[in-house]
Homo-oligomer: A and B are copies of this chain.
């Protein structure tokens, strides 16, 4: 597989999506992209540009990149844009000429109130576009590219799904080694450092900030969230260990959580109340699994999972039940979450075939610790399938 397959697939997919949505033209407008980080650029180019650049895709099937002359050769080599226009002194002329020639009825731009993946256009760049096209009717034709980006980013192509599977495989390889190396008496920080040693051994990168990846939660006193591992918190028999861990392989990410129980001396399995909590966790997860299919919303998936939590007497879960994965560990715009203000409309977007999610949840057993799951799944034509393995039994760490 050429390393440039994915951006080429994504630009072709974008043309089809513009046809489907009946939108004339989509522009990704960026500069110094290693600094400004326009999330759509990685999809359609999978590289950075230095100078002011416009990446234009049209419903009629054109794909045009206008880039600084120093970026021309790289953009041509990647080959996702059929026409590459280079400039030396002024971006304005080729850009205005191209827009005038295309004369699109709608110009979809990457801004969105709710969806961070569709919101790569900075406010300054928006003002700059208005300046560049001042005196023409085109600023009146600006619309949010949200539906376009949502589909282009969310509908994973076969090459993208393979890339995500490779990231998951690398992650599970290290997770599977946990019982071989991790022993009671190790601190959260020891476990954190051990995972980093294994990552170095396998030559793999984290899929989010390495300061919190893996998240390590040993026993009931661990603070939850995006926390630094604690050197003073020791894993003890009779407690659980949770790892929240993801890797990025060839630009695509995994995001997984697993729960282990540390057997006490003489125990061969977890005591009934621990096993019951694990079963409750599984019931929460499976309430979501049954719902996931094209057409349902994130709130639809979240609600029955949240219901099982409270039905079984646990405190409300303060997070969503899942998020897209892809180029980033928190990818895309769809959130499997409740209708809280902080989630905006991201929980009301219908799921589509090809979406990839991390489905997650957690409960806590006093004096024992956290029980967390996070599994990676693909939305199929009429349901879902696992991309990762599914934790169906409590894993054990022995003394």
Contacts and interface: CB of A to CB of B under 8 A. Distances in A.
A224 interface: yes
A225 B124 contact: no
A127 interface: yes
Given A122-B120, A330-B35, A224 B68 contact: no
A36 B127 contact: no
Chain A contact residues (Cβ within 8 angstroms of B): what range? 35 or more
A380 interface: no
Interface string A80-124: 000000011111100000000000000001011111111111111
Interface string A105-148: 00001011111111111111111100100000000000010000
Interface string A325-368: 00011110000000011100000000000000000000000000
Contact of A318 (B77, B88, B111): B88
Given A70-B319, A124-B113, A226-B73, A36 B37 contact: yes
A342 B226 contact: no
Interface string A355-395: 00000000000000000000000000000000000000000
Q: Which of A113, A208, A223, A319 has the most CB of B within 10 A?
A: A113
A72 interface: yes
A208 B115 CA distance: 27
A74 interface: yes
Nearest to A48: B209
Contact of A37 (B35, B50, B90, B91): B35
A51 interface: yes
A69 interface: yes
Given A36-B39, A89-B341, A330-B35, A50 B119 contact: no
Contacts of A328: 32, 34-35
Nearest to A131: B113
A72 B127 contact: no
26 contacts: A34-B208, A35-B39, A35-B117, A35-B331, A37-B37, A47-B209, A50-B226, A50-B330, A51-B342, A70-B226, A70-B319, A71-B225, A73-B223, A74-B212, A89-B340, A89-B342, A90-B340, A90-B342, A111-B122, A111-B127, A115-B124, A119-B125, A120-B122, A121-B122, A121-B124, A126-B126
Given A90-B342, A342-B51, A342-B87, A34 B69 contact: no
Nearest to A35: B328
B112 A118 contact: no
Interface in A49-73: 50-52, 68-73
